Structures are given as C-alpha cells and as structure tokens.
Amino acid sequence: MEKDKLPVILQSGRTKFIFDSLETNCDHDYVEYFRKVPNTTFLFTFRVMKTIPTFNIDIVLSVLKTNRVLYKAEDIKGCDLVKNPRMFKNFGRSFTHLVVNGSYFKCPIEPRIYYLQNEPLMSMFPSVHLAGHFQLSMRLKIPNSYQPFVMESTWKYKISRVK
C-alpha cells in the first residue's frame, strides 16, 4: 500500500498553509472513477463513461469545525470556463494548472480517461486568509442529473501564522 505524501506545507510570508487531505468522489454513472494515480502525490485520473454535454461547478470554502461557510460560488458555467479560463479571474489560473497535457477538456466532454494535477498553489488562496482549519469543496454537476454531483474533490487544510 502506497503512503500518501500529505501533509504538504507551503509558506508565504508569515502564513503557513498545511494541506492535510484530499478526498475525491464520483457518481459512478457519468464518471466511473476519480482517484489518485498510484505512486504520485497530486496526479489524479477519472474515466468519463457517458458524454457530458454541459456542466456546472460549485465551490464552497467552510470552517471545518463549525461548517460555517466563508465563500460560496454556485453554478459556475463549466463549458464557459473551459472555453476561456481567463474570463474567470478567481478560477482561471487554478483551472489551467489542473489540466494535464494541454486542453483536453472541451464541451461536450467525451467518454475517455482524463488526468488532473490537483496540486495546491499559493495562488489558489486569497492573500488575506483567516487562521484555522478549513475545507474547500468543488463539485461538478450536470443539469437535470438525478445525482447531486458527477465529481467532487474536498481539500482539508490548516492555516497558521508563523511568529
């Protein structure tokens, strides 16, 4: 059994980001699996089983202990993001970093195996961030699907101040 290389620690000035875990999940209908590639730290693979004509993205940042929501963006048009990531100031840079081997994503998303590099970057987080233990969830949804999501990833991380 492979041992994960988490936690990952990044530091910017006096702020330390400690990434504890990354969980992935999928619906097993449109997406058969969504998992880490063996012997890697941040490379993930997923297999699309049915054509996905369009999708939406929900992003939620919450305090882990209390579930208090600090940031929420719902129904981001995924196909618009794929077409032009630069249009989405908050997510464009993170999205282009996720894609492995160029722009394999286009709508409709065709059945095949895909790869994502889900590595934490300092640019993913606001320059001012509260200290504490947090959860960042991202869900991809298909309109009119009977499932609440097609794919989901959840980062759990801590932020502390260095003296």
What are the tens digits of pLDDT across the range 76-104? 898 888 777 666 555 555 555 566 655 45
The C-alpha atoms of residue 57 and residue 149 are separated, in whole angstroms, by 9
Where do the domains of the chain lie, and which CATH numbers do they carry?
22-161 (2.60.40)
Sheet holding 112-117, edge to edge: 31-36, 43-48, 112-117
Least confidently predicted of 59-63, 81-85, 154-158 = 81-85
Helix boundaries (H) for the chain: 78-83, 92-98
Q: What is the pLDDT of residue 78?
A: 87
Residue 2 pLDDT class (50, 70, 90 cuts)? very low
Mean pLDDT over 64-85 rounds to 88
Rounded to two decimals, the pTM is 0.83
pLDDT, tens only, 97-137? 566 655 457 889 999 998 888 766 655 666 667 899 999 99
